[in-house]
Amino acid sequence: MFSKTCEYAIRASIFIATQSYENNRVTIKEIAENIDSPLSFTAKILQILAKKGIVQSIKGIGGGFEIPKEAIAKITLDQIVTAIDGDSIFTGCGLGLNHCSKERPCPLNKRFRNIREDLAKMLQTTTLEELALDINAGDSYLI
């Protein structure tokens, strides 16, 4: 459903949020290890997330990545998905056709539209805070 890049971006954001709640900045290496992602791939993802304002990159000694605690409750999954994959998951054709619309639908358009709307609602209403707190409570895991 999500691109591999997007999956890793969501995992990285959740991991950074869990650590930010503990007042820890994390390095690219720590993030990559804790989300089971290749180091160079993780670095590229974090560049995008930092550029889009989802995570903060702090340079120098004691630096690393963090998300301000007050921002964790405001960042939703749709922000991360859009930052990485754009809006194609919300607007694209279920069969990958270039010209699929209400006026010119593919065979899956009606069925896929409902799924896409439900997915959009879930992504828009799920915050990093919810997911990070689940991890910190031991109710879910990243790897």
**Residue-level pLDDT at 98:** 86
**Residue-level pLDDT at 49:** 98
User: Taking the domains of the chain in order of start, what are their residue ranges?
Assistant: 4-136
**Residue-level pLDDT at 118:** 93
Q: Mean pLDDT of residues grouped by 10 in the chain (143 residues)? A: 92 97 96 96 97 96 94 97 91 85 89 89 96 94 88
**Residue-level pLDDT at 45:** 98
Ramachandran quadrant class, 30 (left: phi over 0; alpha: psi -120 to 50; beta: rest): alpha
Cα 127 to its chain centre, rounded Å, is 10
CATH tag for 4-136 (out of 3.40.50.1100, 1.10.10.10, 1.10.645.10, 1.20.58.340): 1.10.10.10
**Residue-level pLDDT at 139:** 94
